[in-house]
Amino acid sequence: MNNIVRIGNAQGFWGDSPGAAARLAQQQPDLDYLTLDYLAELSLSIMAIQREKDPSMGYARDFVEVVRSLTPLWKKGSQLKIVTNAGGLNPLACAQACQRLLQQERLPQIRIGVVSGDDLLSLMKTNPQNHSFENLETHESLIAIQEKLVTANAYLGAKPIVQALSMGAHIVITGRTADPSLTVAPCAAHFNWSLDDDYDRLAGATIAGHLIECGTQVTGGISTDWLQMPDPAHLGFPIVEVDANGDCVITKPLNTGGKVTINTVKEQLLYEVGDPDHYLSPDATVSFLSLTLKEVGENRIHISGAKGNPPPPSYKVSATYRDGFKAEAYLAIFGVDAQTKARRCGEIILQRVREAGYDLQRTIIECLGAGAIAPGVVSSAPSMECVLRIAAADSRQEALDCFAKEIAPMVTSGPQGVSGYSSGRPHIRPVFGYWPCLVARDQISPIVQILEASR
């Protein structure tokens, strides 16, 4: 057994660089695992719409192309394994699509494991009175939105992935899984950790997973020092070298852009974190307060000392529900008093919609370039140019149709210097509300299966 396991991340979110996986695998041939994260809080609601149109969909189709891009490596004998939540709402369909591809490519030896059992939609729809399904933020009862639920998925942990790996899977495809668990599972499988006992080690691997789960965010992306990053067009994707204690070195391949420094690592450690003494994951409750960071080489930061305790007795659930529609439009205004003109344009649009009979339920007028991003907090100096951004939300689609048709008339009835309408009439999009809640562990039974190649 190697004394370290090398795990890279080549996808921080659905829409990240499609060529990153093959690139990272080529740059770092000794990589043991690649993790790819496709699921933000609302991604599954987009997949639900795709599945409504076609029941064989509902997963990140981009992942099949990632598998295709890796086939030359496997043909050369690479042992690289993949762990991903690309399965979304339909992990089995995702796995079958990958299997078809691997057979066409004559790679039947690449086995695919599928993890499901995270989907709680029917359980929640039939038990809306269950207290654990109350909204964690607002404490509202699920009954309020029960009819409008679109997706409901528990964040599963590392255990079923470990099981799939131990059954010989080279590619493990899951639905909703806690992001760090995609990294914890290969560590636990490699070092044979107990998922019911080795909490400090699991905590260390959870930290490693947390650091790489957003791809280039730890190698210079969105860093405070972004403008100083070398070769920013080619930021390296991150790699963790995890040891048998769960400590790790985070790094990136040689000859890639960006940096891995104490600063980039501290920033990403704090990304989307609440109480740093009780970071909750399905594998462990982790404390960041005992971590030690040490630079041990160029672009190499050693992280040790994570403390773990048993995970919470419930799984976190991310549910989404239909919440009406929204649309947004932009107009560029150039000239003296640009900001005043932009705001007036916005007010006129809303007035015309009102006069057409629709009092829009929620609206916003932003004068971009004039302190609109953090209004009242950080101001900007007056400028000769300003972008009007106007957005509206309403439960009535026809109200937003009316709104969308009132943007273009400003091109001839608005101020001199109005431009930027080339993107055309705004699209009306569905709004999905986010419903975080909990589910007792004993209500969930993760299912693990291995697809057998048909020869």
Partner 1 sequence: MTFSIVPLRTIAYARSGDKGDSANIGVIAYNAAGYAFLREYLSADKVNAYFKPLGVTSTIRYELANLEALNFVLNHVLAGGGSRSLRTDSQGKALGQAILEMPIEIEDSILKQARRSY
Binding residues vs partner 1 (CB under 8 A) = 41-42, 45, 136-137, 222, 224-225, 263, 266-277, 288-293, 323, 326, 328, 362-364, 366, 368, 372-378, 389, 391-393, 431-434, 436
- CA 323: distance to chain centroid? 21
What is the smallest separation between the CB atom of 217 and partner 1, expressed in angstroms? 8
Q: Which is nearer to partner 1, 31 or 360 (CB)?
A: 360
CB atoms within 10 A of CB 442: 8
Percent of the chain as helix, strand, coil, to the nearest 5: 30, 25, 40
Q: Which is nearer to partner 1, 74 or 288 (CB)?
A: 288
What is the smallest separation between the CB atom of 41 and partner 1, expressed in angstroms? 6
What is the smallest separation between the CB atom of 432 and partner 1, expressed in angstroms? 5
Q: Which is nearer to partner 1, 263 or 309 (CB)?
A: 263
Q: Please, which residues have CB within 8 angstroms of residue 69's CB and are 6 or more apart in sequence?
A: 18, 19, 21, 22
What is the smallest separation between the CB atom of 377 and partner 1, expressed in angstroms? 5
Say how far apart CA 150 and CA 129 lie, in whole Å: 18
Q: Which is nearer to partner 1, 193 or 321 (CB)?
A: 321
Say how far apart CA 405 and CA 426 lie, in whole Å: 8
Name residue, tokens 């992001």: 179
Look at residue 326 and give its three-state secondary structure: strand
What is the smallest separation between the CB atom of 404 and partner 1, expressed in angstroms? 15
Q: Is 79 exposed, middle or buried (0-12, 13-18, 19+ CB in 10 A)?
A: exposed
CB atoms within 10 A of CB 290: 13
Q: Residue 327: what are its φ and ψ, rounded to 5°?
A: -150, 150
DSSP letters along 174-231, please? ESSB-TTHHHHHHHHHHHT--TTT-HHHHHHHHHHHHHHTTGGGGTTTT-TTGGG-SS
What is the smallest separation between the CB atom of 83 and partner 1, expressed in angstroms? 23
Q: Which is nearer to partner 1, 196 or 272 (CB)?
A: 272
Q: Which is nearer to partner 1, 71 or 261 (CB)?
A: 261
Work out whether strand 4-9 and strand 300-304 pair parallel, antiparallel, or are unpaired: unpaired
Q: Is 274 exposed, middle or buried (0-12, 13-18, 19+ CB in 10 A)?
A: exposed
Q: Which is nearer to partner 1, 224 or 423 (CB)?
A: 224
| Widest Cα–Cα separation across the chain | 73
Query: 15: phi > 0 → left, psi -120 to 50 → alpha, else beta; which?
Result: left
What is the smallest separation between the CB atom of 436 and partner 1, expressed in angstroms? 6
Q: Which is nearer to partner 1, 222 or 336 (CB)?
A: 222
Q: Which is nearer to partner 1, 143 or 222 (CB)?
A: 222
What is the smallest separation between the CB atom of 204 and partner 1, expressed in angstroms? 15
What is the smallest separation between the CB atom of 198 and partner 1, expressed in angstroms? 22
What is the smallest separation between the CB atom of 423 and partner 1, expressed in angstroms? 16
What is the smallest separation between the CB atom of 139 and partner 1, expressed in angstroms? 13
Say how far apart CA 443 and CA 307 lie, in whole Å: 28
Q: Which is nearer to partner 1, 30 or 147 (CB)?
A: 147
Gyration radius (Cα) of the chain, Å: 24
Name residue, tokens 């599972």: 185
Q: Which is nearer to partner 1, 421 or 434 (CB)?
A: 434
